[in-house]
Structure 1
Amino acid sequence: MIRSLAKPAAVGAVALLVLAGCGQAERNDGNDGAAGGASTPAPSATVDAKCATETLEATETGVTADTITIQVSADTGAPAAPGLATGSVDAVKAWAKSVNAAGGLACRQIEVKAYDSKMDPTESRNAMISSCENAFASVGDTMLAAADASPLAECKDAAGKVTGQPQLQTLGLYATQYCNDTSYYLFGPSGDPCPASDGKRELTGSTAISDYLEDATGGETHGSFVLSVDSVATVATSVAAFQVMADDGMAIDQMIGVKSPDTSAQYTPRAASLKAKKSEFVFWGAPFPGLIQMRQEAAAQGVDSVKHWVCTSCYDPAFVEAAGAVGTGTVVPVPHLPFEEAAANPAMKEFTDSVDTHNLFAALSWADGMLFADAVNAVVDQHGVNGLTRANLIAALDAVKDFDADGMIGKVTPSAKEAGVCSAFVELGKDGTWKRAFPAAEGEFHCGDLESVTIDPATAFKG
């Protein structure tokens, strides 16, 4: 049941489970000082001519004759996870610096405001209000507790009309947020339907991970599925993905719900259950510290049936450092090219050269900047350099199809409100470095199918 292998020009971004636990650690890939290709092209000769001949105007909230102000809202100061989304802020600021050095957008320089949403629903709502009042658009947002998008939907433009606040966010957990008409995602939503609903419903998920396991095991297999129960949103997301994998031949031995504060003692019976059920794989959809504890306990108890440890949150320098030898063999699906392959893609090369924080949130926030640039350039092409309004930007974003950030991510339609289906899989070697595991060829993603299941996640979760 192995599905298509597609080059970046023909694939989409994966959206399997929340990658909770992405740290703010820096990754060093030996690229310091190397020249990278430009991810955002310099203004065209036509735009340059307009900049020289037209009188620039203040056209919208956040747009003056000289500047375009954007806001990045991110969970950087959450007490439970300090620095969680610092990479998003770093990436947006670095992207803006690169764009400004190349001449800016619409004959204007980009100014970046940052708002700490603290992984708190109230602060996330306040961040949206701040962006509505002060910025042209939100770009690169990473707010994991944003459950209410009404400040975006009800945002008025400079003329006092309710047009909505354009928001380019890395990922979305709550359907009440990502179903907002003016929110756009590169890392597809959870698979919940729009409009948001509860109870038994049709959810979608990608088969990409089960395709990898089928390739790695040679056929049907069975294993244990672990999810974070820190948030009710991740339960719905995870259970749907688990059921899609089970329908694809990856039998569920058990579901295990874990919380971030869980101690090593709580992992002792969990590791014992792996041994009792002879699980052949563990699919980990929770913060990575728990996986380290599980693997340590499994090693201590002599669990030898598990051949494949798949973790959604472990492609992070902090995991490599904390796990040590016990992390060897961990496989991670990522929705962007591996950082280790930066030399093969100019957009990824510029990102790794420009941003110190190399993790999922940073990479997708940089790509959000590229999406914003494409949309602004489309507005200028159609309406001129004084055509920057939120309504025009929203129309331009709605028209974007098959965006791939110059091959840095797989193709995605940001307005589609669908779970993504593609990823590249990397495996941690004994030497502490990540190497491509699947598909084999550098620069390629594997695209699964988007399949649906009809369940009530609250009752389908058996952990």
Structure 2
Amino acid sequence: MLLALTACTTRSGESPSEPSPSVSLRATDTGVTPTELRIGVVADVNVAVRPGLFQPAVDGVRAWADHVNAGGGLAGRKVVVDFYDSRLTADGWQNAVLQACENDLAMVGTSAIADSNIAKLADCGIPDLANLTPTEEHSTAPNTFSMLAQRPHRQILGPEKWYLSEFKDKNCCDGVWLDNAATPSALAQAQGFRKGQLQIGFTEARSFSLFGLESDYAPFALAIKNSGATYVRVGTDYNQTVALRREAKIQGVDSVVVWDCSLQCYTPDFLRTGGSDVEGQYVYNYFEPFEEADQYPGIRTFISALKNYYPKAPVNGFSQGAWISGLMFGEAVERTVAARGPDGLTRANLLESLRGIHDFDADGMTGPVDIGNKAEVPCFMVMQVRGGKFVRAYPDKGLNCDPANVVTVE
């Protein structure tokens, strides 16, 4: 992936570098012409409660496409990205999927929360290389593949196991959860995750459902204080973690050993917005950290390409996840071309190639994952906010990729 980068400072998704396709190439399927390979990115962006919610995912896919086009494209064709806004609604999701089905070879970097109805997605047979699959229906769709796949009744609980072990002497983890209830599927996912935590040894002091941005976090902070909770997790946007941490400081909450958050908090915006109020926050990730990019060529390439595409694009878990979806798509295309030639690129053949990927490591960003069998990524590492920066907390280097990190929830 160490290709020459082409500078671009817009979000158009267009690259000034044009591949030179052979005159023998043919249009072989939806989204495949002799000169272009069209992919669609479906994401919740224009959202009232959180404008620009998954814009980083769109940026990640477009940056990947520009990077590939600068190196000559894929299968002799230029990659063109179509964006469809799913708007955090069931109708928005359905309409976006329909448009992708009509126009594109594949969906890449899918980042939509109201994704429980997958009938249209499955019926049209479009390969879906998703960044996020919040619902069981979406994650188990026959044509959906994801680096962060999750099979039914399975939870990735490596970080939670570490919290229990590391802070056992501090009575971790008696928890308070603020669950994302923006959609029924989001709430079900949050409840399933908490069920897994309770199964491995957490206890529940209180839990709350958040249906959007709250105006008053004092009741939640007081519940934490009065319960003496040692663990708190906010499963929504990072802004709500910031708001709760700020209110907890005002209320004098001092019992919490682990303030927990995952990918949504691994962004410079969290540090900038939270300031000193989020000091000590734990944030876990499934990939090697951006702060150690000098050790990982794949991360350096991602960051450089993203900033060349749009200098203000945030380097965070959502843009990285979408970029990784692009890498997965690229590998599937290359496998298809190797087996069937550049004119063998169809949705059906692409799906066959995806089913054959069993050791995908996202260009060295994580441990090998069996994409074809939709296995969960067992790898993780934990960061902590110290001095206004993300600092590695565990493990000392690399990732913990113990298969036992993935737990079957009874």
Normalising by structure 2, report the TM-score. Answer: 0.88
Q: How does 1:252-401 map to 2 (within 5 A)?
A: 252-264=204-216, 267-312=217-262, 313-355=264-306, 356-401=313-358
Report the alpha carbon displacement of residue 236 of structure 1 after superposing the two structures with TM: 2.1
Report the alpha carbon displacement of residue 180 of structure 1 after superposing the two structures with TM: 1.4
Aligned letter for 1:440? D
| More RCO (CA 8 Å, sep 6+) | 1
Equivalent pairs counted in the alignment come to 386
* Distance in structure 2 (CA, Å) of the matches to 1:340 and 1:39: 23
1:216 counterpart residue number: 166
* Distance in structure 2 (CA, Å) of the matches to 1:52 and 1:269: 62
CA RMSD of aligned residues (A): 2.3
1:62 counterpart residue number: 31
* Distance in structure 2 (CA, Å) of the matches to 1:39 and 1:286: 37
> Contact 2:260/2:282 (CA < 8 Å) preserved in 1?
yes
* Distance in structure 1 (CA, Å) of the matches to 2:121 and 2:211: 31
Report the alpha carbon displacement of residue 427 of structure 1 after superposing the two structures with TM: 1.0
> Contact 1:74/1:116 (CA < 8 Å) preserved in 2?
yes
1:434 equivalent in alignment to 2:386: no
> Contact 2:21/2:35 (CA < 8 Å) preserved in 1?
no
> Contact 2:45/2:85 (CA < 8 Å) preserved in 1?
yes
Report the alpha carbon displacement of residue 326 of structure 1 after superposing the two structures with TM: 0.8
2:310 counterpart residue number: none
> Contact 1:221/1:249 (CA < 8 Å) preserved in 2?
no
Runs of 4+ aligned residues of structure 1 deviating over 6 Å after TM superposition are 51-54
Report the alpha carbon displacement of residue 364 of structure 1 after superposing the two structures with TM: 0.8
* Distance in structure 1 (CA, Å) of the matches to 2:34 and 2:44: 31
1:406 equivalent in alignment to 2:368: no
Q: 2:114 aligns with which of 145, 163, 167?
A: 145
Normalising by structure 1, report the TM-score. Answer: 0.78
Deviating more after overlay: 444-453 vs 307-316: 444-453
1:453 counterpart residue number: 409
Deviations 1:261-319 (A, max 9, x none): 3222xx32322222222222212322223322322232223222112211123212222
Q: 2:131 aligns with which of 141, 156, 170?
A: 170
Structure 2 SS opposite 1:225: strand
Structure 2 SS opposite 1:435: strand
Q: Unpaired runs of 5+ in structure 1?
A: 1-35, 41-50, 156-163, 194-202, 455-463
* Distance in structure 1 (CA, Å) of the matches to 2:378 and 2:348: 30
1:47 counterpart residue number: none
> Contact 2:49/2:212 (CA < 8 Å) preserved in 1?
no
> Contact 1:410/1:445 (CA < 8 Å) preserved in 2?
no
> Contact 1:439/1:445 (CA < 8 Å) preserved in 2?
yes
> Contact 1:260/1:287 (CA < 8 Å) preserved in 2?
no
Structure 2 SS opposite 1:77: coil
Aligned letter for 1:71? G
Q: 1:183 aligns with which of 141, 144, 167?
A: 144
Report the alpha carbon displacement of residue 239 of structure 1 after superposing the two structures with TM: 2.2
Q: Unpaired runs of 5+ in structure 2?
A: 6-19, 307-312
* Distance in structure 1 (CA, Å) of the matches to 2:367 and 2:208: 31
> Contact 1:206/1:450 (CA < 8 Å) preserved in 2?
yes
Structure 2 SS opposite 1:403: coil
2:181 counterpart residue number: 229
* Distance in structure 2 (CA, Å) of the matches to 1:223 and 1:345: 37
Aligned letter for 1:116? D
Q: 1:98 aligns with which of 54, 63, 67?
A: 67
* Distance in structure 1 (CA, Å) of the matches to 2:139 and 2:31: 23
CA distance 1:452–1:73, change in 2 (3 Å)? same
Structure 1 SS opposite 2:84: strand
Q: 2:103 aligns with which of 94, 111, 134?
A: 134
CA distance 1:93–1:126, change in 2 (3 Å)? same
Report the alpha carbon displacement of residue 218 of structure 1 after superposing the two structures with TM: 4.1
* Distance in structure 2 (CA, Å) of the matches to 1:385 and 1:289: 46
> Contact 1:71/1:137 (CA < 8 Å) preserved in 2?
yes
Aligned letter for 1:167? D
